[in-house]
Structure 1
Amino acid sequence: MSLLSLGWLLALGGSLLPCSVSEEVVCFSDFDERTGGCGELLGGGVSEEDCCLNIKYSFKRGADAPCQACRPAEWSEWSPWGPCTVSCMEGVQRRDRVCTGQGDCEGNKVEVRACSLQNCCPEDGGWSPWSPWSSCSVTCQDGTTQRSRRCDTPAPQCGGSCAGSSLQTEMCDTKQICPTHGAWGSWGPWGQCSGSCIKEGSGVFPVQHRQRQCNSPPPSRDPPGRPCLQEDQQVRDCTSLPFCPVAGGWGAWNSDSECSVTCGIGRVRERRVCDSPAPKHGGRYCEGPDTRQQMCNTKVGCPVDGTWSQWQPWSPCARLQEDITCTKKVGTQSRKRECEGDKFGGKWCESNHRESRSCYNAEGCRYDENNWSEWSEWGLCSPPCGKSERKRERVCQPVYPDYPETTFTQTGKLVDVFFSGTPRVRCDPINRQTKRVEEKEECKNVIEC
């Protein structure tokens, strides 16, 4: 291990400051998406560029610096929905996600939705009158007597209960003396063995003793109690004493593997054996691990496959040297996407980067009939804390003409035809709105910010 790597590792333990090489980082071979923490330390003294030859890795720029993933920024999976803010009637619950990687993520970090665990809240009941006291639990000296009551006057509703106890206990005195029978106290500790080690091959062991007394409690005299039975002393052989010990010692470290990776940074394993000398007759075994990991750098980037970008918007629906807007004539339109992010010999994106389709140009057209859509689902509560509301909407949608839904291409292939563009719409007014109407509702029991 280099002195530079040793400096970083000591810094992680809190003993020394990190080495003063600003461009070098501490490199890790794992990254936890949920917690944003680094895992599986590889070592320090390498550049950020070398550490991130494998985009699955992560790094820190100092012992107390936050963990950073090598890959581009992306959201983690949403956490499970949290508990409802109330146990009855309506409340809210939230979930969140974490942005990890290089750069910023688009979208919200927190979402909140309405919830209801049950439609009613608990109502407590009332106690019935106490029952009569029971007989004393013993026939001599002091005992107990009890009485009870029921939670049914009235009965609780919706998971409620009655405050207090359903059982009441009091002491009772029989005015009679009970005999006390003797019982053994606990065994005392085993005494020291009569020797400190076993003579190998003799077959004779040292012995040790322990005792107990009849005093837990001692038997009474008037009225007379029974005495303790069985023995008050035990003897056993000291069979676990060791032979004369020989402490073990570690042998030299030896390489035990090749570099664990063929790209980026990996590990080489080294092993040693406790045989210089080997422990004997219960002697202390060597302290510390028998294997260790050393960092190895291939200086080769790991392949990163390309991924498709989002499709670009469809081009305007058109027909060569002819205006087909608001007509029954079929045109074509196309869109494309880009293959991004491939590095170090990674695979190019599969499938096509461009596609086209047949269309009717409806841009700015007016049609005879327009209808309101059904109400959408309620949206998320926004903002996710404090005073929050949710909303839903209806939009005015065109009723397109009854044009043919399919057509034949020049090659004789039958394809679908789509309406493209944004027509002019106007529906019967709702709340004085003719194109879009919105409804809002306050979210209840939202957590404080």
Structure 2
Amino acid sequence: MKLSALTAISPIDGRYHNSTKDLSSYFSEAALINFRVYVEIEYFISLCELPLPQLKHFDNKHFDALRAVYIQFNDADAEAIKEIEKTTNHDVKAVEYFIKDKFSDLALDEFKEFIHFGLTSQDINNTAIPHSFKLAVQESYLPNLQELLSHLKERVIEWSKIPMLAHTHGQPASPTLLGKELQVFVERIEAQLTHLQSIPFSAKFGGATGNFNAHHVAYPEINWVDFANNFVNNRLGLNRSQFTTQIEHYDNFAAHCDALKRINNILIDLNRDMWAYISMNYFKQKIKAGEVGSSAMPHKVNPIDFENSEGNLGIANALFEHLAAKLPISRLQRDLTDSTVLRNIGVPVAHTLIALKSTLRGFNKLLLNESAIASDLEANWPVVAEAIQTILRREGYPNPYEALKDLTRTNQQINQNTMAEFIDRLNVSDQVKNELKAITPSNYTGI
């Protein structure tokens, strides 16, 4: 069966392919191979620039040709490397042999043995994968999150003066402003986004067990720690971990996963609130010609985008949680469990991307139902009891809370008239009575 969006096992590459296809540039097998080629070639160029004695006469005019290998990397190159891997049964060694073939094409055979010089495969994987992850976060995740944030901020302004009944414990509570309630989510996301962006993209680079054993025994006069720091930090734009085993310890990678998970939790909270507001008829949804809300009930327009987002965020968080818990743990100087797990980093990022786009799509369908919001406020006059008893406290009125409690917990319908009658019976000045009567569910919204 030919692989396509219809035959893919995962909905990431199937049903949601249009939402996630850009991530192939960072997380596909071909992308990982390309990033490995990039690291290997930039490492060789750095050895030339050092220079190693045997590379002192390497003509830097060849640098552009070498860089063209990864810049112009294509599917045929990826397939060639996979063909080599059938023999080597080792993915990084296959990359090394591929580059050696390219050196032969450029008549650079005498320098081939300095490809992958002194390295272990994890020096390549633990720089290539953080590099790809960094690019995916910066070039795909953050722009999509910022687009949603910008939309939320627009709605905060648009709805900044819309009074709305609040609900605590599912019960009517002191009124609020619709825009302010969205601003809560804006502040939460921005706070966690600041934390996310403060976490370094860490990388390991130090030979078989992290000590530059092979480098040092061959060239003991070279400061390999300084070389590696310069290469990883300045050339690759990552943050080199100074003391490692054969692999990166992944603590900062785990911190990225945890930070992404926290942002996703906030988005789940947002999706559920918007779902609830729609169920309360505070919002209607735009109808698109030809769309069906239910296979059986023609009248329905379901909040499917918020539900879709919530489901995808849940899957993403389960994977982020596993990555964060598993990757920092490795037996002794390494085991192979990180390798297969790390290959899945694109999966939670993809589900998160689907969710971001779904939430934004849900917001774009919303139609504010001001009459329903106003009607709900008018039907809940008891919520001004807090305001009245607080002013009575200010005035030194005896037992104001208890007086309002007796009024609002009776079975009688509390409305503007019954509240006014209650106020008229209070032993306070006419000025205070007028102040109390001016309070309504629509204007008791705080700051």
Q: TM-score of the superposition, structure 1-length normalised?
A: 0.20
Larger helix share, 1 or 2: 2
Larger strand share, 1 or 2: 1
- Structure number with bigger Rg: 1
Q: TM-score of the superposition, structure 2-length normalised?
A: 0.20
More relative contact order in 1 or in 2 (CA 8 Å, sep 6+)? 2
